[in-house]
């Protein structure tokens, strides 16, 4: 099938027949995932093909997506800044520190790789579904899959023989999405048209669907803290050592202030202090504060 025809027909598939993907097709999918373009040739991603049924069941339950178990194949795509570090170390170059830009390019690399696999699968007649639900159990998945520092889950992908079909799902009018030369904020009328265009995807009320994820109290807010803490643990927070396990330096300060009366930073040191006690830590602000909180290098007052 021509790519444009695949795009015209494609829709995410959430129900699958209990049929395996033949070896030669699987080979094509694995080939495709590595053919995606990649930043600076580095291939800042990995893909875990989950074949263990128990692990699949666990992932299915944790992500809240039954199709993770039912599909013939499930892949977890990871941002991977660990392997590049290993190559540098092996060749005798000191690895740099770039947690934010690393995160940026690793997410792009992982997404492109997943998209290349997905489109190839669809062109072969398989159904696919991306699984952002991995963010519903982000710390647990990171731990159970034994991801080393610098590696983090980006998105999951189910692939299998479809047991459902239907028309392609709607998209926003192009004028809301494609801009020319400068960003153009939507007008009220266009927002109304957008809501109407997307209504069929959500039984007539797309805003309600958006709210479930993006409004106050929605899923994204609930995911934010475990996501941020896990990224810190994976060494991807510029201000915190991974042992801090906190969402951010600000969050660590707030946490400190629930127990301590004040937090004081000086060049290369931090203090926490309350009525009868003070503790000190050394280093960059996050490191010093963590040290101060966990006993510090000072006997106290
Ligand atoms: C990053 C990402 C995360 C997604 N997460 C899930 C998910 O966890 N579960 C699911 O059933 N579908 C998931 N989807 C599929 C979307 O719901 C789907 O692409 C969207 O509704 C548009 O439908 P279509 O792909 O059929 O056009 C995800 C898609 C993307 C790109």
pLDDT tens digit sequence for 202-260? 999 999 999 999 999 999 999 999 999 999 999 999 999 999 999 999 999 999 999 99
* pLDDT tens digits, one per residue of 104-151: 999 999 999 999 999 999 999 999 999 999 999 999 999 999 999 999
Statement to judge: residues 11 and 96 lie in one domain: yes
CA distance 285 to 299: 20
**Token pair of 248, please?**
């951010």
> Are residues 131 and 40 part of one domain?
yes
- Mark whether 151 and 7 lie in a shared domain: yes
Q: What is the pLDDT of residue 297?
A: 53
Residue 76: how many other CB atoms lie within 10 Å: 25
301 CA → ligand 1 middle, Å: 56
Question: If you take atom 3 of ligand 1, which residue's CA is the nearest one?
Answer: 132
pLDDT tops 50 at residue 301: no
User: Cα–Cα distance between 252 and 21 in angstroms, integer?
Assistant: 47
Same domain as 154, residue 62: yes
Return the residue whose CA atom lies nearest to atom 25 of ligand 1.
Answer: 12
Q: Are 26 and 146 contained in the same domain?
A: yes
Final residue of a domain: which of 99, 128, 160?
A: 160
Helices and strands in the chain, H and E counts = 13, 7
128 shares its domain with 13: yes
CA of 12 to the centre of ligand 1 (A): 7
In contact, 119 and 54? CB cutoff 8 Å: no
- How many angstroms is it from 142 CA to the middle of ligand 1? 21
CA dist., res. 275 & res. 208, Å (int): 50
In a domain, 195, yes or no: no
pLDDT tens readout for residues 41-84: 999 999 999 999 999 999 999 999 999 999 999 999 999 999 99
**Distance between CA 127 and CA 98 in Å, rounded?**
37
The CA 218 to ligand 1 mean position distance, Å, reads: 17
**Boundary (domain end) residue, out of 160, 191, 222:** 160
Pocket test of ligand 1: the residue of 9, 16, 116, 129 to mutate, having most ligand atoms within 8 Å of its CB, is 129
Gap from CA of 90 to ligand 1 centroid (Å): 39
Q: Does 22 fall in a domain?
A: yes
Domain co-membership, 42 together with 140: yes
- Considering the domain architecture, whether residues 140 and 276 belong to the same structural domain is answered as no
Instruction: Determine the Cα–Cα distance for residues 139 and 136; give it in Å rounded to an integer.
Output: 9
Can you give the pLDDT at residue 296? Answer: 67
- 211 belongs to a structural domain: no
Calpha distance 86→37 (Å, rounded): 21
Are 25 and 116 part of one and the same domain?
A: yes
Predicted local confidence at residue 300, as pLDDT: 45
* 128 occurs within a structural domain: yes
Please give the Cα distance from 240 to 104 (Å, whole number).
18
Give the ligand 1 atom nearest the CA of 155. 1
User: Are 136 and 265 in a shared domain?
Assistant: no
pLDDT of residue 1: 82
Q: Ligand 1: residues whose CB is within 6 Å?
A: 11-12, 14, 65, 129-133, 155, 169
| Residue 192 domain-assigned (yes or no) | no
Which CATH number covers residue 60? 3.40.109.10
- Ligand 1 mean position to 182 CA, how many Å? 28
User: What's the structural domain count of the chain?
Assistant: 2
114 and 252 inside one domain: no
Say whether both 26 and 120 belong to one domain: yes
Would residue 105 count as lying in a domain? yes
Q: Which of these three, 160, 176, 207, is where a domain ends?
A: 160
Q: Over 70: is that where the pLDDT of 299 sits?
A: no
- For a ligand 1 pocket test, name from 13, 132, 134 the mutation site with the most ligand atoms within 8 angstroms of its C-beta: 132
For residue 289, the CA-to-ligand 1 centroid distance in Å is: 40
Atom 9 in ligand 1: residue holding the nearest Cα: 131
Residue 55 lies in a domain: yes
Domain interval for residue 262: 237-293
pTM here is 0.97
In a domain, 275, yes or no: yes
- Token couple for 58: 């666990």
Residue nearest to ligand 1 atom 1, measured at CA? 132
Q: Which atom of ligand 1 is nearest to the CA of 134?
A: 8
164: exposed, middle or buried (C-beta count within 10 Å: 0-12, 13-18, 19+)? Answer: exposed
Per-residue confidence band for 295, with pLDDT thresholds at 50, 70 and 90: confident
């Amino acid at each position: 099938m021509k790519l444009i025809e695949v795009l015209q027909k494609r829709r995410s598939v959430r129900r699958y027949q209990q049929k395996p993907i033949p070896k030669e097709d699987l080979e094509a999918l694995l080939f495709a995932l590595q053919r995606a373009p990649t930043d600076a040739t580095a291939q800042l991603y990995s893909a875990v093909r989950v074949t263990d049924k128990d692990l699949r069941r666990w992932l299915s339950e944790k992500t809240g997506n039954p199709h993770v178990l039912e599909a013939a194949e499930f892949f977890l795509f990871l941002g991977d800044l660990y392997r590049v570090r290993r190559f540098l170390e092996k060749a005798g170059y000191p690895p740099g520190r770039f947690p934010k830009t690393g995160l940026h390019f690793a997410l792009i690399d992982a997404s492109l790789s997943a998209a290349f696999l997905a489109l190839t699968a669809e062109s072969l007649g398989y159904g696919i579904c991306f699984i952002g639900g991995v963010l519903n159990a982000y710390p647990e998945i990171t731990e159970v899959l034994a991801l080393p520092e610098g590696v983090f889950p980006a998105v999951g992908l189910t692939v299998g023989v479809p047991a459902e079909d239907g028309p392609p799902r709607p998209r926003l009018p192009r004028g809301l999405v494609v801009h020319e030369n400068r960003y153009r904020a939507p007008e009220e009328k266009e927002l109304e048209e957008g809501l109407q265009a997307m209504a069929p995807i959500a039984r007539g009320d797309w805003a309600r669907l958006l709210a479930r994820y993006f409004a106050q109290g929605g899923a994204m807010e609930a995911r934010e803290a475990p996501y941020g803490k896990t990224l810190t643990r994976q060494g991807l927070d510029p201000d915190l050592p991974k042992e801090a396990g906190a969402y951010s330096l600000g969050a660590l300060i707030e946490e400190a202030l629930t127990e301590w009366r004040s937090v004081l930073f000086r060049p290369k040191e931090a203090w926490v202090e309350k009525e009868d006690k003070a503790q000190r830590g050394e280093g960059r602000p996050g490191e010093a504060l963590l040290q101060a909180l966990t006993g510090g290098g000072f006997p106290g007052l």
